[in-house]
Structure 1
Amino acid sequence: MFFFFFKFDPYIAIIGDIKNSKNIEERGKFQNKLNKILNEINEIYSDSISSNFTITLGDEFQGLLHSGEHVMDIIQYIKKESYPIKIRFGIGIGAITTDINSAISIGADGPGYYKARDSIEQLKALEKKNESTYGDIQIKIDGDNNLQELSLNSILKLMYCIEKDWTKKQREVVNYVLFEKKNQTETAHYFNVTQSNIQQILSKTHFYAYKDAFDSVNKILSEVKYDNKL
């Protein structure tokens, strides 16, 4: 059991920030695509969402969860559907001190969002320093949870080190196995290749280590729940 210590009702705020957004060709087209992706997230993971994922600026979006069990599924889905556009994610766990609009994530405020924003700014600062293992996901937790925060960020950095050099084809295979939950034979049939080829791809991508870490973060964050949700 991975214990968190809260003196408040915890929410999980997620802010997504598109990297190098000004360099994206056909920005309007991508924004429409992103809006479609967020609508899909809002539908698929509605049981965990308190405030729907919403584009807040041209290069940012945010959402609010009352349960952390699908945090990594949500982030991975957005990354999968947005590729090759890269996105940094700030996760903040804390209270929300204003009214929450379930339809759109605009107007709400509190430590949960402050922590998510701090996470985004820290990622940007590390990128400017050319830190090779800064990662693309950062989490900050309000309250007396420093060890829990450190442990989660260590896992997320290791996941980034595994993922950052995947090719487009490797990403397609990994995401198919992750989301469709298929075995190697079924995956080989889907991609019209041999089972041995899929095995090699999963080995080169360190898929099973990545999936263990992925599942661990989801399991740890599943303990963050606000039962009196909207």
Structure 2
Amino acid sequence: MAVTIISDVVSSREAPDRDVLQREIESAALAVEKAHPRAVQPWWPTAGDEFQAVYDTIEDALVATLYLQLALPEGVVCRFGIGVGDITPVASMLAEAIQDGPGWWAARDAVQRAEERDRGRLPGGRSWLTVHESAPAELRAQEGIVNAYLLLRDQVVADMSPRARRAVFESWRGLQQKEVAEKEAITQSAVSQAINKPLVRALRLGARDLGGEKA
């Protein structure tokens, strides 16, 4: 049983330079992998404006999608469909590796549901989890709880300024406040305020619990 992620870039056609956009997202994905090296298959770009990844657990996928939202550069927004189900290799004469199966079907359904909410009454709700019906009952039982968490989590992130998101991510991955301040050309006090807001601290504690880190 795998936990798959499909991420699509919102409004990628409007990007002034598609090559730059691609490099920026890939750089963010690499930073996330260094901060949270739990992927079975780390983020890789697919056709168009999609990226995919595979994790062993729902918890690791939740941490990875949170980190990537924080790490994205200003003006870049992604939606995330998280799927749970088996994935199977498909033989191909033209490509090295092709995967299919319920895990990817569930992720595709999830990213579509995330788009419906983002375009509807919950702008900022950019992630969703779908557990395929073939998955064990204990995993299916987590779907509603996880999606309730995602709705709240994503809204907190959406309400943060781009600079605050970057400061939080850089701090979470180990940079000192002084280093973050120099990198962002802001005061250390501004960094402290960004990372110590109650909702941000709650996000951090939640991410630590999900990732099995010590508080």
- Bin of the TM-score, shorter chain as denominator length: 0.7 to 0.9
Among candidates 16, 19, 38, match of residue 10 of structure 2: 19
Structure 2 Cα separation of the partners of residues 100 and 72 of structure 1: 30
The residue that corresponds to 2:170 in the other structure is 176
Structure 1 Cα separation of the partners of residues 188 and 196 of structure 2: 14
Partner SS, residue 40 of structure 2: strand
TM-score norm. by structure 1 comes to: 0.72
The residue that corresponds to 1:162 in the other structure is 156
The residue that corresponds to 2:21 in the other structure is 30
Gaps of 5+ in 2: none
The residue that corresponds to 1:222 in the other structure is none
Partner SS, residue 54 of structure 1: strand
Structure 2 Cα separation of the partners of residues 156 and 178 of structure 1: 19
The residue that corresponds to 1:107 in the other structure is 98
Among candidates 125, 133, 146, match of residue 135 of structure 1: 125
Among candidates 69, 83, 90, match of residue 81 of structure 2: 90
Structure 2 Cα separation of the partners of residues 99 and 34 of structure 1: 28
The residue that corresponds to 1:202 in the other structure is 195
Change (3 A) 1:132 1:40: closer
Displacement of 1:67: 4.5
Of structures 1 and 2, the one with the larger relative CO (CA 8 A, separation 6+) is 1
Gaps of 5+ in 1: 1-9, 220-230
Q: Is the CA contact 2:87–2:99 (under 8 Å) kept in the aligned structure 1?
A: yes
* Residue type of the alignment partner of 2:7: G
The residue that corresponds to 1:148 in the other structure is 142
* Residue type of the alignment partner of 1:91: I
Partner SS, residue 115 of structure 1: helix
Matched, 1:59 2:49: yes
Aligned-pair identity in percent equals: 20
Q: Is the CA contact 1:68–1:218 (under 8 Å) kept in the aligned structure 2?
A: no
* Alignment RMSD: 3.1
Displacement of 1:204: 4.1
